[in-house]
Structure 1
């Protein structure tokens, strides 16, 4: 702080007023933020390790390599996504998780999503899950992310070295990797990995308004202090606290354990592909995965419904028939 740093304490610095602009050279370390900055904001950074980022802050100099340069931002892998109908907010973290498994350290170009119109929150969820399973610093989505308005732009005018296709059945397999808890009873609803945005607070407050969570279920939401202040001014925090939610600033689920995770809890539910992947190792609990509305319904009932989203139901039905 004495160096002149600003206190933000958030894993989603792209939600702050200081978010970088397109082509701006920055140095970030948190993996979801790096991928979001490069892919969604078109800023330029690598995934920097702790302490090297401090050295760069002191000197104002970073290695001119990788995604800092035009040549290091082109896709080398094309992935076609077969279309699905009636998508909800669980689609994007699931897709990010699956795409990351496919591409390793290669930067992918995703095609077939041109008409899906993802929100910034959808892309945030995609980035976090993608960064969980991939070493790549960024991705492109045709006609959605700023450096992929044309396929040739994202590919740097060269043909891709590989060309893959994601079938709905592939996404169903990844769904079961994330939604794997054996018991239907849920003790904890974990939200905010990465930190909630103001629009996510608004969406959650709308789902929780006039309702009350089950007394045996803990719901905790992590978010940055700047977003918390804005959400409080908008009345969302009051609504969420009346529902029974716990709001936590200045840390997130990658750092949290007991007692925020109740010692007696055996199963949690989250809408985060990132946390669904990490939670078993971090806190030793089994995980249910679902969209935000399912998380609220589960918070009220104490039981995960086990329902698949409508866009995967037909796939599961066909597999069952076989």
Structure 2
């Protein structure tokens, strides 16, 4: 790379510095002259009408201070022995002037980062803050390299912190949204559960009415029909074990009222209990009741049902609920079983500690 270097000695070197200083002073005087003499004139050759005068003054101060600070920086470098006394390298001088202006123009950004209101106060309330602003620009220009490096690092750090804060905020927002959706889903499930339970309770009410009536067969039929309707609605809302279990009881009762349909209705009752066992809303006690009901319905279908066919149900019921034996012993339909004593003995053997 070709390196251009012009050497000046004595008066010539002094002339270069003098001309540079004079140019800086001329630039610095522009806003002052405009403010004093041309602020009320519509046409000013050096001012764009779209830019407010005070902003233009700030820009001129930054540029002129940058040039003056760059020249000062160059002189300090010469004094410290960075260059030979008799040589002036034009590229170094230009470099100092450019870095000085660059550092000076960054001052507004620097003041914004540190939260200073000097520029705002200078424009709106206190013109003396122009001098403070100029001082900042001069300091930045004199130590331009260190200042530019420091501000750059600070900006990068600020950007990284902002990005990190944005990521954290986005993560928190996503977590909050996820929690909200979970709570909303739980609330919807809870509302469904309450609605299904209401239908199940109504069905149980109609079932008890049908079971306790001894006359008026048509009224019993109506109660059973209402119970089954409510249970279908409950199961349609939520696949809950309680509704299926009650439906098994209703079908079992219906099989006693209509002997000609006994087998079909009991098989449907067994299927209802098996559906209850598949429900996600099933506790241990409800599971034991469903298993005992299946045993009961199988016995109603066939009082001579082999005990081996019933053992898996009673075994699972005993493992699920410790008080299952009392449920079995209280069931009158199970008492009609041909091998009732063997069934009780087997249940007791399973419940031994």
Going by fraction, where is strand more abundant, 1 or 2? 1
TM-score by length of 2: 0.20
TM-score with structure 1 setting the length = 0.21
Q: Which structure ranks higher in relative contact order (CA pairs < 8 Å, sequence separation ≥ 6)?
A: 1
Larger C-alpha radius of gyration, 1 or 2? 2
